[in-house]
Amino acid sequence: MLLRIASLVGVLLVLTLAVFFIQRTLPADPVRLLVGRNATPEVVAATRTRLGLDDPFALQYVHFLGRLLHGDAGTSLRTRNPVSADVLRYLPATLELVAVATVIAVLGGLLLGVLSARGGWVSGVVRLLTVAGSSSATFLVAIVAILVLYRNLGWFPAGGRSGEFSSSKPTGFLLVDTLLGGDLPGWLDALHHIVLPAAVLAVGSTVAIGRTLRGSLRRVLGSEFIRSAHAKGFTWSQVNRRHALRNSANPALSMAGLQVGALFSGSIVVELVFSWPGVGGYLANSIGAADFPAITGVVLVLGVVYVVINFVVDMLQLAVDPRLRRAR
């Protein structure tokens, strides 16, 4: 456990170093962007000294790391707000979207993997659906979903997070806040708004998890102990539930952890298409304005979330398969 925690800290340090290095090697001058094009050379020099940009690279990185540990990611050049405040404002919407998409991807991948591993015509249909899902771009799926499910059928809203969205909610997670407040209509409204973008976001991850689980299940189902379970009179579903799924879960869990990064990157496109008020839109606007502190803050936060989630997945793998604990 201590070794894994040390590895987690090491990965986070490498992430901060990489982001800091990229930020410092960009051709644009952050001081000029901060003070404006018409600032005098004296003002530019004074600002550079005040920000510590004349210090050696190692000392700049130490100061950068110290500010991060105190929650200071700099000031946005576009909004003039602290980047940490901006990210905290938009991050809950993105985390909620990715969390719901993860649930859909895991459940959908489980269903696809089990059905495709069974064989027969059902397996063929599932494989056809997985090929179609894996070859479709996220933005294309999002546009088709809006055209069909919103414009033609009217089943889901075209965008937004809620009909009565307010940024002053206690946690920022609408599905949680409405439940805590006993607001069932508000919870249903938030769920109605999040289902479609989360399902679109989850398409690629569902296919990846399903394919991985299918390959693992087929290997396990050919094992001797599975044939023995069938010989004892267990049905196919009982064999899967009691034996096969547990012994096939680790590759699928690993894939689920890797897909978290894909979900966060895909969420940027989904948020723009569905007008979702998360960090994706904030990041897109920051890139357009060359707002390097904001870009750095978002990348760091999403990177930390991704690393921590993969650490949790690693712990879940150890809990699911005791053989890994003995091997390590």
- Domain membership flag for residue 4: no
Nearest to 170 by CA among 159, 188, 183, 157: 183
Q: What is the pLDDT of residue 323?
A: 57
State residue 100's pLDDT score. Answer: 93
For the chain, the domain total comes to: 2
Report which of 171, 167, 164, 168 is spatially closest to residue 190, judged by C-alpha positions.
Answer: 164
Q: What is the pLDDT of residue 320?
A: 60
For the stretch 252-302, pLDDT in tens is: 777 887 788 788 888 888 988 888 888 888 888 888 777 788 888 888 888
Rounded Cα distance between 44 and 50, Å, is 10
Mean pLDDT of 215-229: 67
Q: What is the pLDDT of residues 104-147, one digit of tens each?
A: 998 888 888 777 766 666 666 777 777 776 667 777 888 888 89
CATH number at residue 295: 1.10.3720.10
- What single string gives the DSSP state of each residue in 204-225? HHHHHHHHHHHHHHHHHHTSHH
Both 221 and 261 in one domain: the answer is yes
Q: 211 near 227, Cβ under 8 Å? A: no
Give Cα separations from 231 to 16, 33, 138, 248 (angstroms): 56, 73, 45, 20
pLDDT digits (tens, 9 = 90+) for 159-183: 788 755 444 467 778 888 888 888 8
273 and 241 belong to one structural domain: yes
Q: Is 139 exposed, middle or buried (0-12, 13-18, 19+ CB in 10 A)?
A: middle
Tell me the two tokens of residue 56.
């050696």
pLDDT at 242: 60
209 vs 263: CA distance, rounded Å: 13
**Residues 6 or more apart in contact with residue 166 via CB below 8 angstroms:** none
108/127 Cα distance (integer angstroms):
13
Same domain for 319 and 282, yes or no, is yes
Residues 113 and 259 in one domain: yes
The answer to whether position 317 is within a domain reads: yes
In a domain, 85, yes or no: no
271 is in which domain, residue-wise?
90-327
Are 58 and 95 in a shared domain? no
In this structure, are 50 and 103 located in the same domain? Answer: no
Task: Please determine, for residue 237, whether its predicted confidence score (pLDDT) is greater than 70.
Answer: no
Q: Is the residue at 74 inside a domain?
A: no
On whether both 95 and 33 belong to a single domain, the answer is no
Does residue 226 form part of some domain? yes
User: Do 194 and 129 belong together in one domain?
Assistant: yes
User: For residue range 3-16, what is the model confidence (pLDDT) as tens digits?
Assistant: 767 777 787 888 88
At 241, the amino acid letter reads R
The answer to whether residues 264 and 187 belong to one domain is yes
Extract the tokens encoding 222.
């050919």
Q: What is the largest CA-CA distance in the chain?
A: 86
Residue 99 and residue 60 in one domain: no
Residue 22 lies in a domain: yes
Residues 127 and 238 in one domain: yes
pLDDT at res. 26: 65
Query: Which residue bears the tokens 């925690």?
Result: 5
16-20-23-24 Cα dihedral, nearest 10 degrees: -170
Q: Which of 43-57, 176-190, 191-205, 234-248 is modeled with the greatest confidence?
A: 191-205
On whether both 318 and 171 belong to a single domain, the answer is yes
pLDDT at position 167, please?
47
119 domain-assigned = yes
pLDDT tens-place string over residues 19-65: 778 777 766 666 666 666 677 777 777 777 776 666 777 887 888 88
In a domain, 5, yes or no: no
